[in-house]
Amino acid sequence: MSPPVSFLPKWGAWYQADGTTRFRIWAPHYEQISVVLEDGSEMAMSKDEEGWHETCFSCQPGVRYSYKLSPDTLIPDPASQFQPDDVHEKSAVVDQHAYQWRTPQWLGRPWEETVIYELHVGTCGGYSAIIKQLDALSDLGITAIELMPLSEFPGSRNWGYDGVFPYAPESSYGSPNDLKALIDAAHVRHIMVFLDVVYNHFGPEGNVLSQYIPEFFSSDRQTAWGQAINFTLPAVQDFFLDNALYWLNIYHIDGLRLDAVHAIAPQSWLQDLVHQIRARCHPERHIHFILENENNDASLLRAGYSAQWNDDAHNALHVLLTGETEGYYGNFGQNPTQDLVLALQEGFVYQGQISPDTQKPRGQPSADLSPTSFIFFLQNHDQIGNRAVGDRLSTQIDSAVLSVAHALLLLSPHIPMLFMGEEWGTKTPFLYFVSHSDDLNRLVREGRQKEMAAFSAFNSQEKAHLIPDPASPETFRRSCLDWAERNQPEYAEIYETVKKLIAVRQEHIVPRLRNARAASSHIWAPGAFAVSWRMGDDRLLELFVNFSDTDITMLTGYAGVVLYRSDHQDRKINHTLKSHSFIATLREGSER
The backbone torsions φ and ψ at residue 568, rounded to the nearest 5 degrees and listed phi first, read: -90, 0
Q: Residue 589: what pLDDT?
A: 65
Rounded Cα gap, residues 95 and 63, in angstroms: 11
State the amino acid at position 497 in one-letter form: T
Q: Residue 569: what pLDDT?
A: 65
pLDDT tens track for 317-343: 999 999 999 989 999 999 999 999 999
DSSP 334-377: S-HHHHHHHHHHHS-S-SSPEETTTTEE-----TTS-GGGEEEE
State the amino acid at position 183 in one-letter form: I
The backbone torsions φ and ψ at residue 96, rounded to the nearest 5 degrees and listed phi first, read: -75, -5
Q: Residue 1: what pLDDT?
A: 44
Specify the 3-state DSSP secondary structure of 31.
Answer: coil
Known catalytic residue: 162? no
Q: How far is CA 435 from CA 189, 209, 382, 388, in A?
A: 34, 21, 18, 18
Known catalytic residue: 259? yes
Q: Residue 590: what pLDDT?
A: 59
Q: Residue 287: what pLDDT?
A: 98
Q: pTM, whole model, 2 decimals?
A: 0.96
Q: Which residues pair with 217 in a beta bridge?
A: 229
Q: Residue 449: what pLDDT?
A: 87
Q: Which residues contact 75 (CB under 8 A, 6 or more apart)?
A: 66, 67, 69, 208, 211, 212
Catalytic residue among 184, 292, 423, 542: 292
Is residue 378 within 8 Å of 317, Cβ to Cβ?
yes
pLDDT along the chain (592 residues), means of 10: 63 96 97 97 97 97 97 96 98 97 97 98 97 98 98 97 97 98 98 98 94 92 88 97 98 98 95 95 96 97 97 98 94 97 98 93 97 98 94 96 98 98 98 95 90 78 82 97 94 96 98 97 97 97 96 85 84 82 88 44
Percent of the chain past pLDDT 70, that is, above it, reads: 97
Catalytic residue among 259, 382, 422, 542: 259
Q: Residue 592: what pLDDT?
A: 43
Mean pLDDT in the chain?
94
Rounded Cα gap, residues 12 and 167, in angstroms: 9
Give residue 536's Cα distance to chain centre. Answer: 28
Q: Which of 461, 472, 463, 489 is nearest to 432 (CA)?
A: 472
pLDDT tens track for 37-49: 999 999 999 999 9
Q: Residue 16: what pLDDT?
A: 95
Rounded Cα gap, residues 511 and 294, in angstroms: 31
154 cis-preceded (ω within 30 degrees of 0): no
pLDDT tens track for 351-397: 999 999 899 999 999 999 999 999 999 999 999 999 999 999 999 99
